[in-house]
Amino acid sequence: MDLVFNDEQRFIREEARRFLADKSASERVRQTVNAGTGFDAGLWSAIAGELGWCAMAVPEAHDGLGLGKTELAILMEAAGERLAAVPLWSTICAGVPLLLAVASDEARQHYLPRIAAGEIAVAVAWGNAGAVDPLSATAVVAEATEAGYRLGGRVAQVIDLEAADVVLVPARLGEDLALFALERDAGHEVRRLETLDGTRQIGELTMRGLAVCAQSRLDGGAYTGRDVAGAVATAQLGLAAEQVGAARGVMDVTLAYVAERVQFGRTIASFQAVKHRCARLEVDLAEARALVYGAAATLEAGLGAETAREVSAARALASDLLFRASEEAIQLHGGVGFTWEYDPHLYFKRAQAACSLLGSPEDHLAVIAAGMFEEGAAA
């Protein structure tokens, strides 16, 4: 498998990193964290509206650019590197794939061109945001009425809920699963949650007998977990790429610090022990990036058992890498690594929060082991 970027992919990566280095620098990220919103509206307007990043995930048939999983991973890696406080992952890695998986042609034509144009941000009300398969269960119940449907239930954690213009809500309709869209004025209740990671917004969604029109139901008919497996895998892949990017970001912060910090008359970067710790992380980063982009290339051809395991492996490795990279950053910064004035704690909080989103490393390793045992038993 050839994982070398082509000219177009290199251009996307270089321009995305250049733009975010300027527009999502540490000072701006801190402003967002201090504001307590977890959302940089100005940055999102530039990314979605001016640069057209969301259009990359939307097929050409719906006014998008129709690019692939590799390009999606490139964008998410760049966003993670700068801890960009925007609903990019929720929109292009979670929302768009779910619409493509189960929405009717009419619903796709209504929402996808608006996403491609940067007019709307999307969030998904996962049934369990901490599970490897977050759509395997839902606390939302739908009931058909003469005018449409009535929705009831509470979703405890919805990523980028307040930033979203449209929330996609999977619900139980009798014995079936149905997908609904709630726009800002739908009448649902939104409560912002206080979170560890100030760069990612999470909210609680509540519906108390909420009446919605028939057009708010997006699926062309009842769907199953198999129908959305590819969409969930894309969300997992995007999150893994973001984690790898964040690991790169905190490692760059650390390398810059050890190159300047003087101890015993020389920079600590010259100490062999420090060199070894940094070199180990660089090797691990290269391994994780290769796994992420390898999974992206195979996922492009469709989701099979082997590809699903590769995506889970990418998540497990990326989660572990980001945690260790941010932990090492605090250690190598010494005492100041714990202080607000230095950046490692921002990455460490992202590492902790992202690790528990869509399955922990242990959960993903268990999925891989179960799949391999099943194949072995079948053979």
Enumerate the domain spans of the chain. Answer: 7-121, 124-216, 225-378
State the number of CA atoms in the 13 A half-sphere of 157 facing the CB: 14
Q: Could you give the CA distance from residue 123 to residue 373 in angstroms, rounded to a whole number?
A: 35
Amino acid at position 26, single letter = S
Q: Cβ contacts of residue 1 below 8 Å, gap of 6+?
A: 294, 297, 298
Domains 7-121 and 225-378 are alike in CATH topology:
no
Which two structure tokens, joined as six digits, stand for 296? Answer: 């992206």
- CA 202/CA 125 separation, integer angstroms: 11
Give start and end residues of each alpha helix (H) in the chain.
Answer: 7-23, 26-35, 41-44, 69-81, 88, 96-102, 105-116, 225-260, 272-299, 305-333, 344-355, 361-378
Q: Which fold has domain 7-121?
A: Butyryl-Coa Dehydrogenase, subunit A; domain 1 (1.10.540)
The ranges of the chain with pLDDT < 70 are 1-2, 378-379
CA–CA dist 75, 240 (Å, integer): 12
Q: How far apart are CA 329 and CA 59, in angstroms?
A: 40
pLDDT of the residue at 378: 67
In this structure, CATH architecture of domain 124-216: Beta Barrel (2.40)
- 150-207: per-residue pLDDT in tens? 999 999 999 999 999 999 999 999 999 999 999 998 999 999 999 999 999 999 999 9
At the topology level, CATH places domain 225-378 in Butyryl-CoA Dehydrogenase, subunit A; domain 3 (1.20.140)
Residue at token pair 């964040």: 246
